[in-house]
Amino acid sequence: MKYTKDNLTRVNNDVNGNPRYVIHFLALLTDQEKSGNSLGDLSGRYDLAVKKAKKLFGGKRFHNKQYGGGIVFQSYEPAYELALINAIHASE
């Protein structure tokens, strides 16, 4: 799957007025990393995705009732972050 700006969810700006976007954590995992059936594995996969996001583009956990399992990042043009996500999946 190729990720585009349509896969991002725009959320409210941060306190400094910078635009923020949220993407689901599974978008950052390869197919091998997504495999696993137990609930304990789910939290481990979420932690792995958060670590990847932080290292790649400064992403953070997004805690919100409307969007569960999200990773938020701030960007005026999210094309760079989307290119990194697509590169993860191209390397599979």
Show the low-confidence residues of the chain (pLDDT under 70).
1, 36-40, 91-92
Give the HSE-up count for residue 54: Cα atoms under 13 Å, Cβ half-sphere. 9
Q: Which residues pair with 11 in a beta bridge?
A: 20
Widest distance between CA atoms in the chain: 40
Residue numbers of the domain that contains 22? 5-61+77-90
Residue 38 lies in a domain: yes
Residue 39 lies in a domain: yes
Which DSSP state fits 31?
A: H
Q: What is the pLDDT of residues 55-75, one digit of tens each?
A: 988 999 998 887 888 999 998
Q: What is the pTM of this model?
A: 0.80
Crossing angle of helices 39-57 and 79-90, rounded to 10° = 130
Residue 40 lies in a domain: yes
Instruction: Give backbone dihedrals phi and psi of 28, rounded to 5 degrees, phi first.
Output: -95, -5
Query: What's the rounded Cα separation, in Å, for the pair 22 and 69?
Result: 10
